[in-house]
Structure 1
Amino acid sequence: MAPTTTQQWTIEGKNGFESLKFNEKAPIPKLGDRDVLVKIHAVSLNYRDLIIPKGKYAFGMNDGVVPGSDGAGTVEAVGSGVTRFKPGDKVVTLFNQGHLGGSLDGQSVATGLGGAVDGTLREYGAFDEQGLVHMPSNLNWLEASTLSCAALTAWNALYGLESRALKPGDTVLTQGTGGVSTFAVQFAKAAGAQVIATTSSEKKAELLKKYGADHVINYKENPNWGEHAKGLTPGQAGVAHVIEVGGPTTMAQSLKAIKIDGVISIIGFVGGFGKEQPSFLDCLTNICTVRGLLVGSRLQFEDMNRAIEANDIHPIVDEKVFDLAHAREAYEYMWDQKHFGKLCIKVAD
């Protein structure tokens, strides 16, 4: 018999992490014809998850939503019309449930898990079959739970513009040691690219080198790290791809690092907002493409998973793992930037 209740977290209000509420017996709605009931084994957090209960998320969200976009689990039951999955399959959730391929549109951008629709921070969840992908066979539950947002975002940044897709010999610049940046390091190395990474910690610098970074720049010791990165590229031509996670406070340095016709992919704004920041004209003077992106499509997810299996890539998971009942503590731990790579919550064995 399929379960009828689930333990889950919801976001009630915008008062910070106190807005996270735990319900031990929430009802599971009846499955529709196209729905898949998933027993969730692991969830991973993203910066986006932290700012939603603080009321700082730029995209739509509903009060009372189950948070979390990233989850890996086992198919427990399927609706009568489901053809893509069967009970026992191992699956991973798609961030924007309606983004199956091509560009985002107004409809698909409004299907984000953990914001617009109920997400993964629960024991059981029902998802439309189109909003799931098969889990890579080389990963465990914790590793697979990290793919939905950070990994797919990094993949989209490197391969989303077909005319500028990453190729062997390119140089990629990453910022910090969050999930998107560490995935970008691994994907770029698997593609035969050179990687320059930035961080402010010697310990994290060593870990970045362990996972494939060719050069690591301490941005606190060298505030002109963009020009330094450009000097490390062949012929000092600049980097082909910048994974821009800092936002306005780091964009000026990213522009100093980029090569002619390079791509700066804006992922987020973890560095906050600064009064002085580059203008649109800087894209012209540096002759580059600056691109904002929001995760990626299911087709990109499936391409990425094939690459993960073919290259036996394993996501970087923080050594500290929380359980479902202590999810609020996980939020606080990540907000304090104590993590390296992806922070995970174990839901079931």
Structure 2
Amino acid sequence: MSLPKTTNQYVLKSTNGFDSLEIEKDAQIPELGDYDCLVQIQAVSLNYRDLIIAKGQYPFPVQLPRIPCSDGAGNILAIGKKVTEFEVGDKVCTLFNQLHQAGPINMRAIMSGLGGAVDGTLRQHAVFPEHGLVAAPTNLTPTEAGTLSCAPLTAWNALYGVQSQALKPGQTVLTQGTGGVSIAAVQFAVAAGANVIATSSSDEKCEMLKKLGAQRTINYKTTPNWGEIAKSISPGKEGVDYVIEVGGPNTMEQSMKAIKPEGIITVIGFVGGAGAEKQPSTLDALTNMCTIRGILVGSKKQFQDMNRAIDAGNIHPVVDKTFEFEQAKEAYQYQWDQKHVGKVVIQLGRLQ
């Protein structure tokens, strides 16, 4: 079978919203280097980051034009002559920060983020360096595997990234909402034998979280003091061991009220807005005797560890809805309107 020389791809040429996404047909595929792999991308999932990049609200530098998105799964069509980790036909996922291989992240790795600093995954074929790919879990479909690069890996890092305080059975995790990071955190915590208190904006979503294994749920719309309630229903009423903080300044006050002494609040995003009239100061970390930890996804080693756990526990990501390649703008808008529970996936078929 002859290898493709061109591909169809989306390019973000400005930050004026989702209409800034333009399809380029028959774009040239770069030549394969000695350590490169040619990947046929089958599924791409969206993250909040992708949406705010298109709207010009991303707090990190983005050089345009840029092929968007970080999450992708597919199969390897060809490998460079010095590639040792993969073979033709292998199923792979893309690594969010291409240079974050193991250990703490550094500035060089931060500046290798797909879809921001370097071209991303919203294309039907792409060349990636061997170090920028990870073997996909064997139990997942390409659509499911296409959700792993950002949200689940971020959740895994939140729970296992501090080795001396890695999640243990019997500990308690508090999650916020039903986005990709929060749902993955629920699944990983339940699989580890931990207790989960999950918050969401509706009773219907709370019931879904219970089906995923959350022992207790709180509707934060009807219970604005959800952090205090979470502490009151935690073992010994001491507070929770981990908070998966995705809301940002508007939710941090309640996260502080929920955390136990020596607990970890992992700050992941700001879907509740980047500012708030009332938000905790740095002294609140002292008065609550907790660690506030900011993270940026995770390393290749963490990705490999996570995938082994997904395989062993037969964990399946929650996919809310899929869109065709030509419907990428509709997929962006659907997620922006917060209609999703779980991940929104774009499936990459051949354009006519």
Partner of 1:8: 9
Provide the rounded CA distance (Å) in 2 between the counterparts of 1:178 and 1:30. Answer: 37
Distance 1:132 1:310 in 2: 20
What corresponds to 2:286 in structure 1?
284
For structure 1, the residue ranges without an aligned partner over 5 or more in a row are: none
Aligned partner of 1:298 in structure 2 is 300
Q: Contact 1:42–1:348 at 8 Å: present in 2 too?
A: no
Residue identity in the other structure for 1:244: E
3-state SS in 2 of match to 1:250: helix
Cα distance in 2 for residues equivalent to 1:81 and 1:348: 30
Unpaired runs of at least 5, structure 2:
none
C-alpha separation in 2, matches of 1:82 and 1:2: 18
Aligned pairs (5 A) from 1:193-232: 193-232=194-233
Structure 2 equivalent of residue 137 of structure 1: 138
Q: Which residue of 1 aligns with 2:118?
A: 117
SS at 2:297 equivalent: coil
Q: CA deviation at 1:344?
A: 0.5
Identity %: 61
Q: Deviations over 1:260-304 (max 9, x none)?
A: 000000000000021321000000000000000000000000000
Q: Deviations over 1:226-248 (max 9, x none)?
A: 00000111110100000000000
Q: Residue type of the partner of 1:282?
A: D
Contact 1:72 1:93 (8 Å CA) reproduced: yes
| Contact 1:36 1:79 (C-alpha < 8 Å) held by counterparts | yes
| Alpha-carbon distance in 2 for matches of 1:265, 1:341 | 20
| Cross-structure match for 1:85 | 86
* 1:2-41 paired onto structure 2 within 5 Å: 2-41=3-42
User: How many angstroms apart in 1 are the aligned matches of 2:100 and 2:60?
Assistant: 15
Instruction: Give the match for residue 314 of structure 1.
Output: 316
Distance in 2 (CA, whole Å) between partners of 1:263 and 1:214 is: 20
Report the TM-score, using the length of structure 1 for normalisation: 0.98
Q: Helix, strand or coil for the counterpart of 1:314? A: coil
Q: Distance in 1 between matches of 2:60 and 2:105?
A: 13
The CA deviation string for residues 53-99 of structure 1, in whole angstroms up to 9 with x for no partner, is: 11111223220111110000000111122111111000000000000
Cα deviation code 1:11-31 (max 9, x no counterpart): 111101111111121111111
Question: How many residues in Structure 1 have an aligned counterpart in Structure 2?
Answer: 348
Contact 1:40-1:348 within 8 A present in 2 as well: no
Partner SS state of residue 115, structure 1? coil
Return 308-317 or 77-86, whichever deviates more.
77-86
Compared CA separation, residues 108 and 264, structure 1 to 2 (3 A): same
Deviations 1:306-340 (A, max 9, x none): 0001111000000x210111101000000000111
Q: Secondary structure at the match of 1:48?
A: helix
Q: Distance in 1 between matches of 2:125 and 2:177?
A: 33
Query: Match of 1:63?
Result: 64
Secondary structure of the corresponding residue to residue 19 of structure 2: helix
Q: 1:168 maps to which residue? A: 169
**Aligned position for 2:334:** 333
Moved more, 112-121 or 55-64: 55-64
Query: What is the aligned-residue RMSD (CA, Å)?
Result: 0.9
Structure 1's consecutive aligned runs of 4 or more residues displaced over 6 angstroms after TM superposition are none
Aligned-partner Cα distance in 1 for 2:9–2:204: 35
Work out the CA distance in 2 between the residues paired with 1:267 and 1:89.
31
Whether the aligned pair in 2 keeps the contact of 1:265 and 1:292 (CA below 8 Å) is yes
CA distance in 1, matches of 2:68, 2:77: 21
Please report how far the alpha carbon of residue 165 of structure 1 lies from its aligned counterpart in structure 2 after TM superposition. 0.9
Q: TM-score, normalised by structure 2?
A: 0.98
Question: What is the SS of the residue equivalent to 1:91?
Answer: strand
SS in 2 for 1:148: coil
Shift of 1:52: 0.3
Q: SS state of the match for residue 61, structure 2? A: coil
